[in-house]
Amino acid sequence: MAFISCEDETNTYVNQLYTNAQKIGAIKTCLNCSVDSAVSHLCVVDGFYAYKDAAYRIDFSKMQSSIFDTLANHNYGYLKDSLILRANRLAESCGANVSSSFKDAVTNLSIDNPDMIFYGESGTITDYLKATEYDNIRTALQAPVAIRMDLFNVSTIWNEMLLLYRNYNPNPVTVDLQNQIVIGMMEGIFEEMRLEEGLIRTDSTHRVEGDSILGL
């Protein structure tokens, strides 16, 4: 007697059951839901600054440390703390802008081979968006962040720090603080999206009608 496995190891059955259009729709719904989840966690008071033990805090750790170190050595370390707090408050106020920028990118996302990401590992869908639309999202977020640089006194504190720093080091500082804030925001949002995508793939309570087939 011969036994034949009924396991659909090559996804042949699901490939026949759903069209590419349905898979793309599920992928985009997953992305939009992941954006909503990320924004709800980070674009609120103490979101970027404190959520998950400050895992997403924008702290400018990749910037020229000599600026912060020099000022700290001359008792101006409090300015860095103030800059970080205000930059994160700025980021937390950008929920509507983050949502629209990311969702516009999802709408414009071109997916030629949906099977590659539909059946990919957890995070594959988010990573695809990041790889293809990163620059467009970053460009879209520049204007709303620029407007808030003065509203949250980020520019004022940064300029004060630069003036003080030049008293101890005349070398020019080539740091685009605004862009650093945008990048920090995006990295946090993308990471939270990856986590939500994982939940959508594995937990039916995180799915909606549009992405329900991702759980099959």
DSSP code string of 182-205: HHHHHHHHHHHHHHHHHHHHH-GG
Q: Is residue 87 assigned to a domain? A: yes
Q: Count structural domains, the chain.
A: 1
CA gap 66, 194 in Å, rounded: 33
Q: Is residue 189 assigned to a domain? A: yes
Predicted local distance difference test score (pLDDT) of residue 105 = 98
Q: Is residue 162 assigned to a domain? A: yes
Q: Is residue 211 assigned to a domain? A: yes
Q: Is residue 77 assigned to a domain? A: yes
Predicted local distance difference test score (pLDDT) of residue 38 = 98
Q: Is residue 5 assigned to a domain? A: no
Q: Please, what are the averages of pLDDT over each run of 10 residues along the chain (216 residues)?
A: 45 67 96 98 98 97 84 96 98 98 98 94 96 98 98 97 94 90 98 97 89 77
Predicted local distance difference test score (pLDDT) of residue 216 = 56
Contacts of 127 (CB under 8 A, 6+ apart): 194
Predicted local distance difference test score (pLDDT) of residue 13 = 47
Domain that holds residue 147: 18-215
Q: Is residue 6 assigned to a domain? A: no
Q: Is residue 41 assigned to a domain? A: yes
